[in-house]
Structure 1
Amino acid sequence: MTTLFALTDDQLAVREVIREIAGKEIAPWAAECDEDERYPVEAQKALTASGFHAVHISEQYDGPGADALTTLLVIEEVARVCASSSLIPAVNKLGSMPILLSGSEELKQAVLPSIASGEAMISYALSEREAGSDAAAMRTRAVRDGDEWVLNGTKCWITNAGVSSWYTVMAVTEPGVGARGISAFAVHADDPGFEVGAKERKLGIKGSPTREIHFQQCRIPSWRIIGEPGTGFRTAMATLDHTRPTIGAQAVGIAQGALDLSVSHLKDRRQFGKSLSEFQGLQFMVADMAMSIEAARTLVYQAAAATEAGAANATFLSSAAKCLASDTAMKVTTDAVQLLGGAGYTRDLPAERMMRDAKITQIYEGTNQIQRLVMARSLLR
């Protein structure tokens, strides 16, 4: 296969800048945000001030207009020090992608400039308690009433809910026809009948709030539908093709942070009269960790480039990248805890936080079991 990506000088410069910002302005707060389960306001301020909170939005809507690969670099470098903070640029892309793909020009002008400026953030609302992997089984309803749509139902596992002002919401507009009866909408936190639920108590990414959102006779203007009625599920799936590589980038960043920590520890710590870095068994472990990370990174970058180019195998690569990178992150972070020994198991070092954060990358935006189904269907259809 022809390689579809190579980092340009501009992308390398972006990586260096965001790495410095992450190290100086985000990393110092990462442990506190995890421990106190609080939103990383310092990261949001730093990312917004530097223009890295929503780099994917085009110049037409007052954004930087970064390509998919540059967006991944930002997410990866932030995740390297704080996975919760990396969800700021990642979820801004996830939430706005349906509008970018299918929204009317009126809707784009109403929503995207506020995201680009940092005035607002946006989340993505697809899942329900009884409609996770089987998203088409959703029960949230939207009914047309004159010049408005009226929404009723509940969405769950909504990342950054309560912080975001905008939400892209999938709801059934024509019952009984499955996925073809689902439409997408842009809902604002100030819309009457919209309510945010309590925070979930989570294993990881504790700095990023995850909540239910509720619609009780929630009324929105008719022009806030995203695309035509009945096209919402197709838009949702197309969105995930574009955003699964962002979860891959998050996973790669987490894994890289764990590897960096492990290498530093092996160099600094001594046992049996010599540096841990001199023990061949431990050398093999970090070699395998680094090898797996580089393989995952390459596939993630390739997937982003393929999706942006509209390549025929983009869906396969997107699922493969998310799956491989998240499995890699889980393995690498677990090995990092092992390499750090007792200290790695404590909250004094970030290895255990990285391991907890890595787990969610195997679950959200489609579990890795679902990714394997997607890949198989792409190959066999």
Structure 2
Amino acid sequence: MNSDTAGVIEQRAAAPTRAGQPLFGQGLFGEHLTDAADGIRAVLTDVVRPWAHEAERAGRFPRQVLAGLAAAGVIARRWPVGRDGDTGWGALLAIESGRLGFAGLSVGISLQVETVASILHRYGRTELLRGYLDGVRDGRLVGCLGASEAGGGSDLMSVTTTATRIPDGWQVRGEKKFLSLGRVADFALLLCRMDGDGAGGLGVVAVPAAALTVRKRLVKTGTQSLDTTWMDVACTVGEDAVVARPGLGLLAVTYGLTHERLSVAGQVVGCCEYAIDLAVSHLHNRRQFGRPLFECQALRIRIAELASRLTVLRYAVLAMAAGLFAPGGPGVREAAALKVTAARFAEECTSECMHVFGGAGYLEDETPLSRMWRDSRLARIGGGTDEMMWELVAGGLGGDGETYRAAVSLR
């Protein structure tokens, strides 16, 4: 990364950073937002895009991406030392990373910057855990989250990985199936069944990379640059490695996943903006039957409908980022609703934009849309399936008995 680009973030976001004010403290619109987005985009272009195609071919997430983002101040700006995290900054990072068109890389960034860092920032109280967070901030360390297992999937209450108390700490044994970034991580945050403790229940324990052994590298349909691995776990850790004590593990994981789900929605916004931009430009440039394709009403109206829904989704992401976990603001259910809505839109939008290109859209060496369409399917699974998101939403649907009785009279 050249020195000019490295200074973009600092220059363009200097005012809110010096003031200790979150990005959206000056509002959801304005020059401050445009400058921040431009700065993030410049850094992503410089430090992420050069690795994208090779990472897809190799099937391995490049650590250099996270080191470059850290060197440009992007991660520290998201999680400033001694202050609350800036969800607005995180939302812009998600949107701009989605615009790269490589979901494996944008998801890998969010797993580090949103999921792992949010859990450590909220729950990491020991010197060891604060050191892990410092390493994430400055790009020295890569972390991952292990929750799902082969026998449970979305059912996190069925976790069988155990952390058993021993005289000088905890003995951790088990396996995690969908461990993204597992092969490049320096440590992992694992959801465990913490036996041998009076409180009982699930907790989260941090283990070093040496504790992880590859059982099988998973071959996925898309997001090839995001390595995902089935791993066995075996190690002994000290008491200072406990991130969330027994009984609070699911709460800690849900907190991290809520940030991840908002990030997924932001990535969808960026990805779909990119896909629609490509489709619209193609409609203007491609001539069929003696005229530009844009003059075909069926095609331009189809894209206009997608663009309209994307506008709503973009503002929803920004608004939720501005108030996430604030008193009376959006939380777990709202983030789940946004994530599932965005994920389903991503699959449709990338498919329709690919369709606009006709046969060329299906050729991976002529447009990026077939890859983007294939990658978009992960959003409906990773971070919680559609059904799990709807269950979270359904849990808050209590109805209003008084309104019902006043409006309905069944005989």
Taking structure 1 as the reference length, the TM-score comes to 0.90
Q: Aligned-residue CA RMSD in angstroms? A: 2.5
- Cα distance between partner residues in 2 of 1:175 and 1:364: 32
1:240, CA displacement in angstroms?
2.0
Q: Is the 8 A contact 2:164 2:196 kept in 1?
A: no
Q: Is the 8 A contact 2:202 2:250 kept in 1?
A: yes
1:143, CA displacement in angstroms?
0.3
Q: Which residue is 2:192 aligned to? A: 171
Q: Which residue is 2:369 aligned to? A: 351
Q: 1:72 aligns with which of 91, 99, 103?
A: 91
- Cα distance between partner residues in 2 of 1:354 and 1:133: 25
* Residue 149 in structure 1 maps to residue 166 in structure 2: no
* Residue 327 in structure 1 maps to residue 344 in structure 2: yes
Greater Cα shift, 100-109 or 362-371? 100-109
Q: Which residue is 1:158 aligned to? A: 179
Cα 1:306–1:378 shift into 2, 3 Å = farther
1:21-80 Cα distance to aligned partner (Å, 9 max, x none): 33455345434432443434564454233233564222239xxx7511211111221121
1:244, CA displacement in angstroms?
1.1
Q: Which residue is 1:85 aligned to? A: 105
Q: Which amino acid aligns with 2:332?
A: T
Cα 1:176–1:378 shift into 2, 3 Å = farther
Q: Is the 8 A contact 1:54 1:89 kept in 2?
A: no
- Cα distance between partner residues in 1 of 2:256 and 2:236: 25
Q: Which residue is 2:326 aligned to? A: 309
Cα 1:29–1:225 shift into 2, 3 Å = closer
SS of the aligned residue for 1:311 comes to coil
Q: Which residue is 1:30 aligned to? A: 52
1:294, CA displacement in angstroms?
1.5
Identity %: 27
1:175, CA displacement in angstroms?
8.5
- Give unpaired runs (5+ residues) of structure 1: none
1:84-137 Cα distance to aligned partner (Å, 9 max, x none): 221343011211222222221434422111111100111111110111111110
Cα 1:269–1:337 shift into 2, 3 Å = same
Greater Cα shift, 354-363 or 303-312? 303-312
1:8, CA displacement in angstroms?
5.3
- Cα distance between partner residues in 2 of 1:278 and 1:22: 35
Q: Which amino acid aligns with 1:265?
A: H
Q: Which amino acid aligns with 1:210?
A: T
Q: Which residue is 1:285 aligned to? A: 302
SS of the aligned residue for 1:59 comes to coil
- Cα distance between partner residues in 2 of 1:333 and 1:231: 38
Matched ranges for 1:128-207 at <5 A: 128-174=149-195, 181-190=201-210, 193-207=211-225
Q: Which amino acid aligns with 1:136?
A: M
1:313, CA displacement in angstroms?
4.1
1:363, CA displacement in angstroms?
0.6
Q: 2:136 aligns with which of 99, 112, 115?
A: 115
Aligned residues: 372
Q: 2:42 aligns with which of 20, 44, 47?
A: 20
Cα 1:319–1:249 shift into 2, 3 Å = same
SS of the aligned residue for 2:395 comes to helix
1:134-162 Cα distance to aligned partner (Å, 9 max, x none): 11101001101112210110011111111
Q: Is the 8 A contact 1:333 1:354 kept in 2?
A: yes
* Residue 370 in structure 1 maps to residue 388 in structure 2: yes
Q: Is the 8 A contact 2:172 2:236 kept in 1?
A: yes
SS of the aligned residue for 1:34 comes to helix
1:367, CA displacement in angstroms?
0.4
Larger radius of gyration: 2
- Give unpaired runs (5+ residues) of structure 2: 1-23, 400-411
Cα 1:77–1:184 shift into 2, 3 Å = same
1:263-311 Cα distance to aligned partner (Å, 9 max, x none): 1211111101111111111111111111121222222222223324243
Q: 2:285 aligns with which of 268, 278, 292?
A: 268
- Cα distance between partner residues in 2 of 1:270 and 1:25: 36
1:336-356 Cα distance to aligned partner (Å, 9 max, x none): 110011010011210001001
Cα 1:54–1:366 shift into 2, 3 Å = farther
1:378, CA displacement in angstroms?
1.6
- Cα distance between partner residues in 2 of 1:24 and 1:99: 28
Cα 1:355–1:55 shift into 2, 3 Å = farther
Q: Is the 8 A contact 1:76 1:86 kept in 2?
A: no
Q: Is the 8 A contact 1:68 1:308 kept in 2?
A: no
Taking structure 2 as the reference length, the TM-score comes to 0.84
SS of the aligned residue for 2:192 comes to strand
Q: Is the 8 A contact 2:120 2:130 kept in 1?
A: no
Q: Which amino acid aligns with 1:100?
A: H
Cα 1:42–1:189 shift into 2, 3 Å = closer
1:358, CA displacement in angstroms?
0.6
Q: 1:238 aligns with which of 240, 246, 255?
A: 255
